[in-house]
Structure 1
């Protein structure tokens, strides 16, 4: 394994802190009705996720997502001390971001009265941010795997 220079270490730690913080915050919010209603409504527009809401209902399905997001955050943070667990957390984050990115295909993301590439502020532009977050999660996962 190559030694990291100071800039690389700073980038890695900043990515770990911000990605972990993002998932902790988003996971926490999944347990509140306003978030649960918004997320489950969006999930119903996507054939990859609608079945989860049909089986578990709004609150439980978003609660499960919240638990997964909080778990990913905790494992990402633990990655400072245990790169194997950090890689698992970042991989879990990447997987959730990959799934949410599919809403760009299946969800109501185009601004009413316009066509692509004009994304609506909500949910289109909000979901678009998942693409660079996905890249950050993959990079963090691979960085942690390379530490082993």
Structure 2
């Protein structure tokens, strides 16, 4: 067998490690972003998406007023923070962060509970669909018309590019779901 074939055989066995790495990386994203949801700057940054979402705007007391009170990352405006507090921006963000931490925990429980791992995978699969809906509901996901010829669809803003990356989260979750499902079948002797 040639070195090339040996290399291919070794690389061909990487799928098991890859599955664990995918699950771990999805959990890391949920942990990191979930913890940031407890910090005002992250809560402030998701305001346009939540305020304009037909599925989430009801969590805010005054979603139609967010533009008047929007702050940018790193910007401290005490009067805007007071409004965001009254708007339930921080309460909602903390709740969302808790959900994201639970999803991460379920994913990481996979070695000891395949059912928890499966539930985490399913939740990790569906969560990005909510996020991806912001491409339709949030004008800030697209480059604004400020004079340059490249604006609107298909020109994603920084927010839009961040949202689009969630497609990888869903794809990776499919791998985690399949791995947990196969393990559950093996445990039942049905594999």
- Is TM-score (shorter-chain normalized) higher than 0.5? yes
What does residue 119 of structure 1 align with?
156
CA-CA distance at 1:21 after TM superposition: 0.6
What does residue 107 of structure 1 align with?
138
C-alpha distance in structure 1 between counterparts of 2:60 and 2:175, whole Å: 31
1:81-92 matches, within 5 Å, as 81-92=112-123
Give every structure 1 segment of 4 or more consecutive aligned residues whose post-TM-superposition deviation is greater than 3 Å. none
CA-CA distance at 1:40 after TM superposition: 2.8
Where structure 1 has 5 or more consecutive residues not aligned to the other structure, the ranges are none
The partner residue of 2:31 within 10, 20, 24 is 24
Where structure 2 has 5 or more consecutive residues not aligned to the other structure, the ranges are 1-11, 63-86, 146-150, 185-191
Contact 1:40 1:53 in 2 (8 A): no
Scaled by the length of structure 1, what TM-score is found? 0.89
Scaled by the length of structure 2, what TM-score is found? 0.70
Q: Does 1:133 align with 2:169?
A: yes
Contact 2:142 2:160 in 1 (8 A): yes
CA-CA distance at 1:142 after TM superposition: 2.7
Aligned pairs, number: 143
When the two chains are superposed, the root-mean-square deviation of aligned CA atoms in Å is 1.7
